[in-house]
Structure 1
Amino acid sequence: MSTTSLGASAPSRAGADGTGAATGPLRARRRWSGARLAPYLFVLPALALFAAFRLYPIGWSFVLSLYHTDGMAQTWAGLDNYQRLVDDPLFWKALGNTALILVVQVPVMLALALGLSVALNSALLRWKPVFRLGFFLPVVTGLVTYGLLMGALLNQDSGAVNWLLQLVGLPEVHWLGEPFWARISIVLALTWHYTGYNAVIYLARLQGIPAEHYEAAAVDGAGPWRRFWHVTLPGLRPALVLTVVLSTIGTLQLFDEPFIMTGGGPDNATTTIGVYLYQTGFRYFDFGYASAIGYALVLIIAVFGIVQVKFAKEED
């Protein structure tokens, strides 16, 4: 009787010990899995929003680029929309307008920003925070607001700029009514709005250049220009690459200023790729062709960005 009791109780104790021994590692694994899973649970809402409002539109726009759209009707087109880009003279005109603004405006803006940053970093300048704030304020102005403001200032009949020109005896200029001056107006607006932004980037980098470099160059007999060329510019190289890439990408995507100030005119002189894409999609509702224009723009931006970064690395 007692032997049977002992035999029956022994397995139960062994089972209890075995269960307890297995429970410890299992609980540890569960805690470890929960700890590893927790960060992903926190970023899951952001990932879901990114997928819904970024990845899905990007993917769907590529699908649309393979269709002809006529109102709500869609028919398979394959690569016809991309072939249409090659044969579309208005697309090439928009691309040429964008390239012209890029070639003229970006170097002028960055040169002004560089000179401005050096002046703001000078030890001889007083009230530096006031000047820095003043030159940075245009960046804070909304794109629509400053586009309307520049359009009002450059208005042929009632603009302040023509009033000042007549005040000093100069003829008025058809800023927004002639192709040449319309492009100049876009360049002026962009330069006014973004010069301070780039100057702040350069200024932050300038303040990171050790003063000992300038002192050593001065001891070696380098004048102001040689110190600028051999100390300031090499120290600013990362900031220069950054601003060139950002400015190129921003100009290739240019939309707000020409759309608000000139509407792409006169005679499509300020129609950029961004304006042409908008007009194709939301004025003529040809979303398939507009999507193809968008992907062509993505490819152009990617090529420019890769070439610029690679060139900068080779220079280093």
Structure 2
Amino acid sequence: MKGMLNSKAPYLFIAPTIILLALFSLLPIVIALVISFTNMDLAGLANYSNIKFIGFHNYIDVLKDPLFIKAITNTLFYVIIGVPLVLVLSLSIALLINFGQARIFKVFRVIFYMPSVTNVVAVAVVWSYLYNPSLGLFNYLLGLIHMPAVPWLTNPVMAKISLIILALWRAIGLNMIIFIAAIKGISKSYYEAAQIDGASNWKQMTSITLPMLRHAIFFVSITTMIGWLQFFEEPLIMTKGGPLNGTTSAALFIYNNGFQFSKFGYAAAGSFILFFAIIAITLIQFKFQNKDADI
């Protein structure tokens, strides 16, 4: 009897976590998947008899929707520009802070990290004033050096770039901390041996630091790409997807259809298309990472 209890003890400890995961993560996913195959809207929410199973029509309609195609294009724009910038800047700042000797670099660590823990709504509101075409600080500074005002949030392409700048400012801090922790984990014996051999600082960084950080770089690239594929708060608060739907992301498209137009089935289908896209991109990255590890 005692041996039986001991064998089941691990399952008793993990049972609460499994139950919570099933109730608040797995079950909502299954329900959303079922909804994506129906025409559920406000009428269906009020009376379940109005809900009809329509198969893959929602998925087909979403993929044919010009606004969804534009939202996917905008999202890819965010990913292609934002992810490399986050990786390069956060890694560069982590290297500077870690190898910097002055005490001021410890202060920089806090300064760069603070935006990542600041409320995104408050930050977006403040940056909206900074981007204001007539009263904003950025155009005022440009005017001091006799440069023309920039249509930060009124031009579709410039608005996307403006949102990327804001998101970049917020994302650097957390990834910087991850890189600093990874750098601290590299044994100093590697650097001591390289210094004995006469390797320069640049050679040490390219031959020791960066190769030893490959797992941290991979982790940051995965999490950053997933975050940018789900880009939502900044366009919602600052531009509402405008101008001319130029900043509408895939996540904002799903939000608008689900919570503004009450097309729950349609929005659920869009969310699963985005979900499968994220999984596919993540698996591709894992495959390339495994190939690099084999080499």
Question: Would the TM-score normalized by the shorter structure come out above 0.5?
Answer: yes
Correspondent of 1:119 among 86, 96, 102: 96
Q: What is residue 52 of structure 1 aligned with on the other side?
A: 23
Cα deviation 1:192-229 (Å, max 9, x = unaligned):
00111111111111111122222322333432222221
Asked if structure 2 preserves the Cα contact closer than 8 Å seen for 1:95 and 1:272, the reply is: yes
Q: Give SS of 1:171's match.
A: coil
Distance, in Å, in 1 between the alignment partners of 2:64 and 2:99 is 53
SS at match of 1:254: coil
Pairing of 1:61-72 with structure 2 (within 5 A): 61-71=32-42, 72=44
Task: Say whether residues 1:77 and 2:54 are aligned partners.
Answer: yes
8 Å Cα contact 1:119/1:125 also seen in 2: no
User: How far 1:49 moved relative to its partner?
Assistant: 3.2
What is the aligned partner in structure 2 of residue 12 from structure 1?
Answer: none
Asked if 1:173 is matched to 2:150, the reply is: yes
Report the more deviating stretch, 111-120 or 126-135: 126-135
2:199 aligned counterpart, secondary structure: coil
The change in CA–CA distance for 1:35 and 1:219 in structure 2 (over 3 A counts) is closer
Q: How does 1:130-141 map to 2 (within 5 A)?
A: 130-141=107-118
Question: Which deviations, in whole Å up to 9, do the C-alpha atoms of 1:28-53 show, x marking residues without a partner?
Answer: x1x44444555545554444333222
Q: Which residue of 2 aligns with 1:142?
A: 119
TM-score, normalized by length of structure 2? 0.91
- Of residues 261, 267, 270 in structure 1, which corresponds to 2:247? 270
* Relative contact order, higher structure (CA 8 A, sep 6+): 2
Q: Distance in 1 between matches of 2:91 and 2:279?
A: 26
Q: Percent identity?
A: 37
What is the aligned length? 287
RMSD after superposition: 1.7
Q: Does structure 1 retain, via aligned residues, the 8 Å contact 2:41–2:265?
A: no
1:1-316 map, 5 Å: 29=1, 31-37=2-8, 40-71=11-42, 72=44, 73-316=50-293
CA distance in 1, matches of 2:212, 2:14: 37
Which consecutive unaligned segments of at least 5 residues does structure 1 have?
Answer: 1-28
**Rg larger in 1 or in 2?**
1
**Partners of 2:128 and 2:18 in 1: CA distance:** 40
Q: Distance in 1 between matches of 2:252 and 2:207?
A: 42
> What is the CA–CA distance in structure 2 between the aligned matches of 1:254 and 1:153, rounded to whole Å?
21
Of 94-103 and 75-84, the range deviating more from structure 2: 75-84
Aligned partner of 2:221: which letter? V
C-alpha separation between the residues in 2 aligned to 1:120 and 1:149?
Answer: 28
